[in-house]
Structure 1
Amino acid sequence: MPAPEEDLALLVRAAEAAGPIALSFWRAAPKAWDKPDDAGPVTEADLAVNDALQRMLTGARPDYGWLSEESEADASRLDARHCFIIDPIDGTRAFIAGQQGFAHSLAVAEGDRITAAVVHLPAMELTFTAFADGPALLNGRPIRPTECGMTGARVLTYKSAVEPEHWKNGRTPPIRREFRPSLAWRLCLVAEGRFDAALSVRSVWEWDIAAGSLIAQRAGALATDRHGQPMRFNSPRAMVDGMIVAGPRLHGEMRAGMV
């Protein structure tokens, strides 16, 4: 079986190949439509990137399972020792709007844990990488999270996550809420210390957080579900029960303050 470092090299090559495909549609009025069941928008670029990634990755690792936001569900992935977990374009709304904050999120799971990860933002020329037991890097340079506590922390999340009902004693925490369109990018922004935490009180899709969770962990942050439990991947539902991603001190304070 390939080592995590070899899988990471494959993911980097695939992400770098996906970037020009996405950029050929970006700011060029790509065809877009809404998925069924209010699952959000999708564009022809999402599908083109997905097809290219699937050909490249499964061509190189035919025995690996495949889980992607833009592919039909394939239950055979649950029996595979390794599985690719892919979001071809994370932040599709930003992509449609011509904004730079969209990403290719690529990960490999061995069993239920992530062992190699890339989050690539082609319009910004940013590439975050990590592999099991290796460093977290941004464009080849080591990154690390902040060491702050709750008061004044800059937290990437949506508005309802800081409503009083999610916090003990009905008290909204003393944080500064901010937002970025790509969930994968949010985790990487925490990993590099540009923000202090990323939070979701709702369940999140595995393809949105698989790569970013390993990058955050290898940088030195804690990345757990909303209850403080380890994230598990390649699950039947392909979802994680919320998330808290932050440096150890802030992670502990956030978990202690949540209902």
Structure 2
Amino acid sequence: MSDSMSPEAAQALVPALRATIREAATLALPFYQAGRQTGARVWSKSGGSPVTEADVAVDTFLKVRLSALLPRAAWLSEETSDDALRLKADLVWIVDPIDGTRAFMSGHPDWSIAVALLAAGQPVLGFVHAPVTDTFYEAAAGAGATRNGQPIGVSGQREIEGARVTGPKPMLERLARGAARDGVQPDLVTVERIPSLALRVVRVAEGSVDVGLVSPNARDWDLAGADLILREAGGSVCDLQGQPTTYNRPDPVHGELAAVSHGLRDAVVAAVGTR
């Protein structure tokens, strides 16, 4: 861990960070309507993706509170203009105020608030909170991962045959084709796609999903907190060469990725990488 953030110092932030994220959720929940369109104001960002007043409210709240909690940390989030000063910072908050905005807007429960703290480019704290179900995933580097305070770990699945998989259909089809033996594709259990990438990753960490595939153009804020939770649970988010994901680069955009246990990583990477 970075000289400027010891394990003890990171752990000391956990109670206040947990409370802050829970408070942030109370700003978003009044705009969420289960099974119905949100009552929040909605507009489009420059790239065409939607943003709601709830995204902005949560982002603003977290920026104020987390900056006060750790003033020397830089900031990178989905709803704040990027500041290149983060590239020279040892400590960086990476935040997605609402991961799965379209799910939030349509009344689907799978949206989350995702927060990570990087030290020397590596996540040392990771939090993913699903407000609708009041489910809280968290991890500190070297201290394991938990779901609502209980330890979690990846599944014991070691073969693609029979694996529970989720992600974009083209990548799932490539996984099946690439894992075929003698022309016979493996029998996969397809899990309904999880719109929040952070939740997709932590469900691999908790063992309810074996393989979570991620299409190109995910951002640091979608992944960093959940990735640490998965690392602490016995897996990782890797590219299709099996390399771990890196964060706080000049362009925080990623290519195709796989969230998977260490035991399944090589087989999944080899299969999905097959065109």
Alpha-carbon distance in 1 for matches of 2:30, 2:177: 44
Count the aligned residue pairs: 258
| Partner amino acid, structure 2, of 1:195 | V
What is residue 264 of structure 2 aligned with on the other side?
A: 250
| Partner amino acid, structure 1, of 2:161 | T
Match of 2:15 among 9, 16, 27: 9
Alpha-carbon distance in 1 for matches of 2:253, 2:75: 15
> Please, what TM-score do these two structures have when normalized by structure 2?
0.88
Provide, for residues 138-179 of structure 1, a one-character-per-residue CA deviation record: whole Å limited to 9, x for no partner. 000001111211012111201121244996499866433331
Alpha-carbon distance in 2 for matches of 1:230, 1:154: 22
The DSSP-based 3-state class of the residue aligned with 2:47 is helix
Deviates more, 1:66-75 or 1:25-34: 25-34
Alpha-carbon distance in 2 for matches of 1:165, 1:135: 29
1:82–1:109 contact (8 Å) kept in structure 2:
yes
Match of 1:218 among 210, 232, 251: 232
| Partner amino acid, structure 2, of 1:12 | R
Alpha-carbon distance in 2 for matches of 1:175, 1:165: 9
Match of 1:64 among 56, 73, 78: 73
Alpha-carbon distance in 2 for matches of 1:186, 1:164: 19
Alpha-carbon distance in 2 for matches of 1:182, 1:213: 13
What is residue 98 of structure 1 aligned with on the other side?
A: 107
What is residue 44 of structure 2 aligned with on the other side?
A: 34
Q: State, as a whole percentage, how many aligned pairs show the same letter.
A: 33
Matched, 1:208 2:231: no
1:229-240 correspondence to structure 2 within 5 Å: 229-240=243-254
Match of 1:155 among 140, 158, 165: 165
Deviates more, 1:123-132 or 1:245-254: 245-254
1:29-178 correspondence to structure 2 within 5 Å: 29-38=39-48, 40-148=49-157, 149-164=159-174, 168=178, 174-178=187-191
Q: Which runs of 5+ in 1 are unaligned?
A: none
Question: Deviation of residue 19 (structure 1)?
Answer: 1.0
Q: Which runs of 5+ in 2 are unaligned?
A: none
> Please, what TM-score do these two structures have when normalized by structure 1?
0.93
2:168–2:215 contact (8 Å) kept in structure 1:
no
Change (3 A) 1:93 1:69: same
Question: Deviation of residue 131 (structure 1)?
Answer: 0.6
The two structures, once aligned, show a CA RMSD in angstroms of: 2.0
Alpha-carbon distance in 2 for matches of 1:241, 1:167: 20
Alpha-carbon distance in 2 for matches of 1:131, 1:191: 14
